[in-house]
Amino acid sequence: MRRIFPALAFASFVVALLVAASFPLSAADVEVEKTDAGVVVKLRGQPFTTYIFKSGNKPILWPVIGPTGKEMTRAYPMREGNKLEKTDHVHQRSFWFTHGNVNGLDFWAETAKPEVQGRIEHNELVKAEGGSVGTIVTKNTWLGPDGAKICGDERTLRFGGDTDSRWIDFDVTVTALADKVTFGDTKEGSFGLRVDETLKVDAKMGGKIINAEGIEDDKAWGKASPWVDYHGPAQGDHVGVAILNHPSSFRFPSHWHVRPYGLFAANPFGLHDFTPGSKEGIGAHDIKQGEKFTLRYRVIFHKGDEKEGKIADAFEKYSGS
C-alpha cells in the first residue's frame, strides 16, 4: 500500500485548492419547466425567472432573481411590492419587449385609447430546453384593436450564470405581416425592464446609472452607447443590471430610454426625441410584408457596480460571439 506522509498530504491539499481557485466556476445548470401560463427557469435548482405568456398586453419575464437571491425588477402590477414601490406606469412590467408606435398603434402603454391600443399575443412555444444554457423560443403576433395582424416576432432567450452573476440573452426578429409596417420615431420603446424600487436613482439609496462612455444618471438618457449599467441596493444587497447591445443588432449602438425613476430600456427608434434639434421622424423604420429586422441584447444581473461586475470585459466577450 502506498504511504502518504502527513506533510506531503497537506502540501497536496494546498496545491489542489490553488488549482481549483485558478479556474472560474462552470456555467450553472439551467432547468426549465413548462406550465400553462409560461416557462419557469431555475439555476441549480434555485429560482431565476418565469417567462409569462401574457401579462397586461404582452409576454414578460417576472420575477427576475439576481445572484444574491433577491428580486431585481419591480413587482407592480403583478403583485404588491415593498413600501417604496410606486404604482406608476402600469405597462412597465418587470422585463419586456414592445414599442409605442407601430403603424400608429400603441403596443407600449396599456392606457391608450381603445382605437389605437395594440397587443402582443403569444402564439407558440417553439422550444423550452434546459442544460448548461437554458433556451426558450417563442412566436408572437402583434395585433391591432380589430385583430388585424401587423407584424410577428420570434424571440430566442438563453439563460445562464454562476455565483456572481446571472445573464439572459434576448434575440428577437420582427417580420412585417401587413403590407407595410412602420416602427415610429418615439421615445416610448422598446426592449427594457423596470428595476427594483430600492435600486433606482430616485430612491436616493445609492442607485446609479452609467454607460460605456462614463456618462451618469439622467445625463445618460437618450445617448447612444454599446452598454448601460444600473446599479445600487436591491433589498439590502448592492447589485447591478447591465444591458449590452450586440454589434450585429439593428442600429447598433442603441440609444437608451433610461430614467432615474427606474425605467431601463434600449430604443433604436426614438431618434427625434433623443437628439435635440433633429428632424421629426428620423428614427422611423419601414419594412414591407415579409421583410424583417433583428435586435440582440444581453442582460447581466451582477454583484456590485459595473467595475465589480466587469461589464466592459463582458461586452468585449459578448460582441465577439
**Which pTM was predicted?**
0.90
> Whose grid coordinates read 416557462?
39
Widest pairwise Cα distance in the chain: 85
DSSP code, position 291: -
Q: Assess if residue 127 is contained within a domain.
A: yes
- For 187-242, the pLDDT digits (tens) are 999 999 999 999 999 999 999 999 999 999 999 999 999 999 999 998 889 999 99
- For 84-110, the pLDDT digits (tens) are 788 999 999 999 999 999 999 999 999
Q: Assess if residue 19 is contained within a domain.
A: no
Q: Assess if residue 62 is contained within a domain.
A: yes
Q: Assess if residue 243 is contained within a domain.
A: yes
Q: Assess if residue 3 is contained within a domain.
A: no
Q: Assess if residue 20 is contained within a domain.
A: no
DSSP string, 174-188: EEE-SSEEEE---SS
What is the C-alpha end-to-end distance of the chain, expressed in Å?
51
Q: Assess if residue 229 is contained within a domain.
A: yes
What CATH number corresponds to the domain at position 224? 2.70.98
Enclosing domain of residue 243: 28-319
Whole-number Cα distances in Å, 243 to 60, 123, 306: 16, 27, 11
Per the CB < 8 A criterion, the answer to whether 116 and 101 are in contact is: no
Per the CB < 8 A criterion, the answer to whether 107 and 269 are in contact is: no
- Phi, psi of 229, rounded to the nearest 5 degrees: -120, 140
Total domains in the chain come to 1
Q: Assess if residue 2 is contained within a domain.
A: no
pLDDT of res. 22:
32
